[in-house]
Amino acid sequence: MKYPACSDFTSASVRLSRRQLIKAGGMAALGLNMPHWLAASESAYPSGRPQARAKSVIFLFQWGGPSHVDMFDLKLDAPSDYRTPHKGIRTSNPDLITNEHLPRVAKIMDRFTVIRSVTHGMKNHNSAGYYALSGHVPPSDDQRLRDSIDLHPAYGSVVDRFAPNPPGSLPTFVSYPHVVSDGSRTPGQAASFLGKKHDPLFVPRDPNDPNFKLPELSLPSNLSIDRLHARRGLQELIDRQSRLLDDSAEAQGLDDYYKNAIAMLNSESMRIAFDLSTEPAKIRDAYGRTSYGQGCLLARRLVEYGVKFVTCYFSAGIGGQSITTGGWDTHGFNNTRMYPIIEQYHFPITETTLPTLIYDLENRGLLEETLVVWMGEFGRTPKINANASRDHWPKCYSVLLAGGGVKAGYIYGASDKTGSEVIEKPVRLEDLAATIYYLLGIDPTLEYHDTQNRPLMISSGEPIFDVIA
């Protein structure tokens, strides 16, 4: 729900008070009820703020952490042990230089906002991954951080909670083709305490497989809808007997999730959206015959048919030991050198997929209403280590945004001369989350409730209005 701005508060005082109250855990002591507080918080936004324009989000998660100083924040004048060993090339954004291995990417940089000042303190993949996938700081910086209903939900689950697609239509939130992990499932990929009802439709199949299909979306020839509903009645009886849905917080909303899945069985749009075989071979080839490439194509199809939030994971694992598979983590594995891996695997896939997706969305008139987010959980150390690689670096890295109402050909924030520290306009992951919600027309100050029924804001960040067109 939107509330009118309250001019009795200054922006600075509202922003400070709101964050202090989040930490304090409540507002009763000030005698403020939630509607009045939300009205006051609106004044933290500038007058005449831009309207939301995104209808969908394609979230391309670069698990492992790509190197900002080798891609979108090159420091060609830095000392040799800091700067990329590759040459820089000009891009369609005159203020941006990129890597010589990315000439096609260079041609589309006039469509992007590049945020060069993203910063946080999580150095381990699971903690940083949860932070990047949910927009909420984790309780600890620990690669053993486990998925838990005490942690916050994924962005797409929040979208499904506050702006869901109608029942029986396409799902609000789809993710594929992996569950990412660093030894254990990384939190932030599902609905958590919002309940199973708001989990993504997770598709654990390779979209590059010639036989890619969703068999759960078509009934066996000997099973009618009536028989399916009869089986559903039996299942409900079993559930009541076991009290599973009443007593298990993890199972909350499972019943609604099941009903929604059944409703999708009769959806012609659902079957069409997931049918990659209808795409011309030329288009499929353009995206690249890889799991991630065909996943990017599937993302375009899903938003075209009305899915609001699509998460496509670059890889299930962080990577580092192979030039044919894995994520962007390229250090510490058997003295692995970073550059042969990214030259032969990461860069070619990025060079194929990202420009093709942007051109395809643009040619179909979808880019203006589709926000494309390209990001990892952190960047890489500007200083090259003894293994000719770069380590984890969350203190300063880059995120790309395109379409969905953001500025084109724009650079926001800045790093120092080696790309080590933010020196201008720092951006927290909370701010990025608030920006995504705002662009979708969802008020970042809305609240949900955790397992203890405590009210929590969906984002404690501030939308980055400077990047919005």
Retrieve residue 283's tokens.
């288009």
The answer to whether 427 touches 436, Cβ cutoff 8 Å, is no
Rg (C-alpha) for the chain, rounded Å, is 22
Q: pLDDT tens, 335-364?
A: 678 899 999 999 999 999 999 999 999 999
Helices (H), 265-377: 268-273, 281-287, 291-304, 338-341, 347-363
Closest CA to 401 of 327, 469, 316: 469
The answer to whether residues 289 and 208 touch, using CB atoms and an 8 Å cutoff, is yes
Task: Name residues of the chain where pLDDT drops below 50.
Answer: 1-44, 234, 237-238, 240-246
Q: What is the pLDDT of residue 248?
A: 53
Bridge partners of 60?
Answer: 312, 374
pLDDT at 268: 81
Question: Distance between CA 317 and CA 303 in Å, rounded?
Answer: 26
**What pLDDT sits at residue 331?**
83
Question: Residue 186 burial (CB < 10 Å; 0-12/13-18/19+)?
Answer: buried
Q: What angle do CA 309, 277, 401 make, to 5 degrees?
A: 30
* Cβ 56 vs Cβ 371: under 8 Å: yes
- pLDDT given at position 387: 86
Say what the pLDDT of residue 46 is.
Answer: 58
Distance CA 410, CA 316 (A): 31
Q: First and final CA of the chain: distance in angstroms? A: 24
Any idea what DSSP says for residue 181? Answer: B
Neighbours of 132 (CB within 10 A): 29
What pLDDT shows up at residue 257?
Answer: 61
CA dihedral 10, 14, 20, 26 (to 10 degrees): 140
**Cα distances (Å, whole numbers) of residue 126 to 86, 130, 139:** 30, 6, 11
pLDDT, tens digit, 9 for 90 and up, residues 20-40? 444 444 333 333 334 333 433
Determine the 3-state secondary structure of 30 from DSSP: helix
The pLDDT value given to residue 45: 59
As a whole number of angstroms, the distance between CA 222 and CA 33 comes to: 56
DSSP labels, 424-454: ES-B-HHHHHHHHHHHTT--TT-EEE-TT--
CB 420 within 8 A of CB 395: yes
| DSSP annotation of 246 | H
> Given this model, what pLDDT does residue 148 score?
93
Tell me the one-letter amino acid at 435.
Answer: T
Say if residues 314 and 378 touch (Cβ distance below 8 Å).
no
Q: How far apart are CA 374 and CA 181, in angstroms?
A: 19
Neighbour count for residue 61 (Cβ, 10 Å): 25
pLDDT at 177 (0 to 100): 95
